[in-house]
Structure 1
Amino acid sequence: MRNANAMNRMNRLPVSGFHKTMLLAVSFAYFFEFADINSFATTAPQLIDLWGVTVDHVAYVTSLSFVGMFVGSLAGGALADRWGRKRALVRTTMFFGLFSLVSVFSWDLVSLGVFRVLTSAGLSAMTVVGVVYINEMYPAAVRGKYQAYAIVIGICGTPVTNLIASVVVPLSDWSWRLVYLWGSLGLLLILFTRHLKESPRWYESRGDHEKADEVLRAIEAQVAAEKGPLPEPAPPVTEAPVTKAPLRLLLQRKYLLPTLLLTVVWVTQTIGFFGYSSWAPTLLAKEGFSVEKSVFYVALTTVGAPLGSYLAALVTDRFERKWCLVGFGTVIAVCGLLYGLTFSPVLIIVFGFLVNLFERGYTALGYAYSPEVFDTRGRSLGTSVSYGLGRLSNAAGPLIVASLYTNHGYRSVFYFIAGTWLTGAVVLAVFGPRTRAARLAETAT
């Protein structure tokens, strides 16, 4: 077979039970990613009392976790290209779930730190794979919306975990371990495996058109049985087969400029978001709020996260994603700054709620925007490198936050976070490519 025409055959499919099952599986993986990603932040206030952990210790563990995320991001892109999107999704989720489970048995801060680094590597690898998988498996006209829907469901892992932590962490000297046990339930993704299909576009990019056609026929039969006869796809566009995208590919102008842009996007998002979410419980506790209240206040603010992802779903395919990102980033900067300028519990919850709402909307938009600026050949590599560098940047972020807090006080942390978000918004506004026209053209072909 010369060309399986995967892109056009997938684009002309109506959304069906096949797509919804895949959405549920990816959302499940995202749920436990978001459940697990802030586990250390929610248990750190208790460890300060139990193990004598200091703010600097929290900074070091958090920093090393982001080094793990960087390694995981690079590995995720490579594994998605080597194993395929489906297999990589399942295996990376198994990896982070396993080390979250091992974290339950930590005996000191060093052991917990090692396990958190490995967990973080798996979390980041899974995210890269999930973003690429959805991008290739949904029709172009709705892929942004369904990317956001996956996060709407997945992001519920954050408030659920924070609320669980607010209840179980104060119960006893050992009950903080239950937070990590909860995060390990991502292992249950294995139950979805037989319902998922490999990406035909991945097979096609490797020159395996027969296998791509086989998977496409199975998908088409499943969709047609539910939705009726399918329209004819547009004529195929021939692409050269690619078995591996070497790192030097990103030095080509075609890939270098979007990689640099997305690196700025993910660096500012990572430092801006984790500077807030990873530190809020600890900083509130250091400013005189009890452990119970600090964890509870942060848990209430994260209720805004699913609403933000849903807001992104409403706008992502209707407007230019670049300008949505700029607008969301600017609002986060303002609300994050106001959060740091008040010690009123009500205002802390209100502004924290708005930060979570728009930040998770920003993340959903970014997940949809990032792979669109690359073609199939550079998609996994470009997405993984830029996302990974963003995560690596936050190896320095916690150290900066700890230094600012120690030397300049609580509010200086939030001036820094607001400035980070605003920098990302300005860079996107000036240099970010528009992708809506290309997306519409792809749908029309």
Structure 2
Amino acid sequence: MSHSNALNRLNRLPVFRFHRTTLLVVSFAYFFEFADINSFATTAPKLINLWGVTVNQVAYVTSLSFVGMFFGSIIASGVADRWGRKKALTMTTVFFGVFSFASVFSWDVLSLGVFRVLTSAGLSAMTVVAVIYVNEIYPAAFRGKYQAYAIVIGICGTPVTNLIASAVVPLNDWSWRLVYLWGSLGLLFVFFARKLKESPRWLENRGEHAQADAILTELEAQATAEKGPLPEPAPPVDEPPAAKATLRLLLQKKYLAPTLLLTVVWVTQTIGFFGYSSWAPTLLAKEGFSVEKSVFYVALTTVGAPLGSFLASLVTDRFERKWCLVAFGTVIAFCGLLYGLTFDPVLIVVFGFLVNLFERGYTALGYAYSPEVFDTRSRSLGTGVSYGLGRLSNAAGPLIIAALYNNTGYQSVFYFIAGTWIFGAVVLAIFGPRTRAARLQQPQKPRAAA
């Protein structure tokens, strides 16, 4: 077969059981990614007391973790292009689960730091692959909504982990290790991965049209049995199999602009979000709140995270994603600044709740927006590089925050974080391409029978 017409055949599918099952499986991976991503932040206050860890050492571990995220993102794009989206999602989820489990047995801040860098590489790699997979397997008309739904479910891992940490970390001198044991449960993903299908668009891009057609035919049969006859897909556009995407590809004018734009988006999101989530427990503890209270307050604020992702699901396919991102980023900046200007526990929780709500909505919107500015050939590489550079930027972020805190005080940290969000919103407003019109292009209606 010369062409499997994957995009148009996927786009004319209704929502049916396969999409709901895939949502739950991807959400499971997201759940433990979000569960594990702040594990070090929730245990750092305890380690400061137990091991004598300094604020600068916390900064170094956090910084190096983002270096690991950068390499994980870059490697993930290559793995996803070579072995497929489904296999890559399984491999990256298992990778971060293994090293989260290894963190349970760390014996000092150096060993824990090494395990956290490797865990972080896997977390970032899994995110890149999951974003690409959802983009390619769901119809364009509701892929943004389902990307957000996956985050709604997955992001629950953050408050659940923080509440678990607030309960177990203070118990005794070893109970903090249970936080990392909890994060390692992502290894159970291997039991659910068989429910997934390989991306027909990836197979088609490699010229493996027969395999792509087999998967599409199976999905169409299931959808027809469940929902009734399907409309005819739009006719395919014949294209030769794409050559392997290399980093040089992103230097072409067609790809350089979106790569640079998304790099700014993910740099400001990374510094802006992890400035809050990675540092809030430690900084609150340094400002006189007990370890128990600092971790508990942060746990309460993260309850807003699933609601933010749900909010994104309501707007992502109805409005231009670019402007949703701009609006969310601006709100985060102001709420985050107010969070840093108060020491009242109620206001800390309220403004922290709003930061988490809008930031997780921003992330869900960004996950849907990023792959849309690339074609199939460049999608994995472009998404991985821009997301990875964003994560790499926070190798400097914690060092900047530590320097600001040590030299100019607690509140200066939050002026800096708010400024990064505003900068990202302005750049996106000026240079961000619109993607809604392309998403709304519908396949041709079925032709009347002769």
TM over 0.5: yes
Deviation at 1:442, TM superposition (A): 5.4
Deviation at 1:228, TM superposition (A): 2.1
Residues 170-214 of structure 1, C-alpha deviations (whole Å, 9 max, x = no match): 001000000000000000111112211000000000011111101
Deviation at 1:444, TM superposition (A): 6.2
Match of 1:408 in 2: 408
Structure 1 unaligned segments of length 5 or more: list them: none
Aligned residues of 1:140 and 1:443 also touching (Cα < 8 A): no
TM-score by length of 2: 0.98
Match of 1:303 in 2: 303
1:178 match: secondary structure: helix
2:34 pairs with 1:34: yes
- Describe the shift of the 1:432–1:442 C-alpha distance in structure 2 as closer, same or farther (beyond 3 A): farther
- For residues 106 and 285 of structure 1, the distance between their equivalents in structure 2, rounded to whole angstroms, comes to 23
Aligned residues: 445
2:138 pairs with 1:138: yes
Structure 2 residue identity aligned to 1:248: R
Deviation at 1:243, TM superposition (A): 4.6
Aligned residue runs from structure 1 range 1-20, under 5 A: 1-20=1-20
Deviation at 1:233, TM superposition (A): 1.1
**Identity fraction in percent:** 82
Aligned residue runs from structure 1 range 101-120, under 5 A: 101-120=101-120
Aligned residue runs from structure 1 range 15-414, under 5 A: 15-414=15-414
Deviation at 1:441, TM superposition (A): 1.8
Deviation at 1:305, TM superposition (A): 0.3
Deviation at 1:239, TM superposition (A): 2.5
Aligned residues of 1:27 and 1:151 also touching (Cα < 8 A): yes
Deviation at 1:221, TM superposition (A): 1.7
- Describe the shift of the 1:365–1:347 C-alpha distance in structure 2 as closer, same or farther (beyond 3 A): same
- For residues 267 and 90 of structure 2, the distance between their equivalents in structure 1, rounded to whole angstroms, comes to 27
Structure 2 residue identity aligned to 1:234: A
- For residues 274 and 442 of structure 2, the distance between their equivalents in structure 1, rounded to whole angstroms, comes to 35
Match of 2:448 in 1: none
- For residues 444 and 302 of structure 1, the distance between their equivalents in structure 2, rounded to whole angstroms, comes to 44
- For residues 217 and 86 of structure 2, the distance between their equivalents in structure 1, rounded to whole angstroms, comes to 17
Aligned residues of 1:141 and 1:443 also touching (Cα < 8 A): no
Deviation at 1:246, TM superposition (A): 1.0
- Describe the shift of the 1:401–1:436 C-alpha distance in structure 2 as closer, same or farther (beyond 3 A): same
1:441 match: secondary structure: coil
- Describe the shift of the 1:62–1:249 C-alpha distance in structure 2 as closer, same or farther (beyond 3 A): same
Aligned residues of 1:51 and 1:108 also touching (Cα < 8 A): yes
Structure 2 unaligned segments of length 5 or more: list them: 446-450
Aligned residues of 2:232 and 2:444 also touching (Cα < 8 A): no
Aligned residues of 2:329 and 2:422 also touching (Cα < 8 A): yes
Residues 333-374 of structure 1, C-alpha deviations (whole Å, 9 max, x = no match): 000000000000000000000000000000000000000000
1:364 match: secondary structure: helix
- For residues 427 and 49 of structure 1, the distance between their equivalents in structure 2, rounded to whole angstroms, comes to 42
- For residues 427 and 198 of structure 1, the distance between their equivalents in structure 2, rounded to whole angstroms, comes to 35
Structure 2 residue identity aligned to 1:3: H
> Cα RMSD between the aligned structures?
0.9
Structure 1 residue identity aligned to 2:88: A
- For residues 10 and 430 of structure 2, the distance between their equivalents in structure 1, rounded to whole angstroms, comes to 33
Residues 362-398 of structure 1, C-alpha deviations (whole Å, 9 max, x = no match): 0000000000000111100000000000000000000
Aligned residues of 1:140 and 1:442 also touching (Cα < 8 A): no
Deviation at 1:17, TM superposition (A): 0.7
Residues 92-118 of structure 1, C-alpha deviations (whole Å, 9 max, x = no match): 000000100010000110000000000
Deviation at 1:164, TM superposition (A): 0.2
Deviation at 1:443, TM superposition (A): 5.5
Structure 1 residue identity aligned to 2:63: S
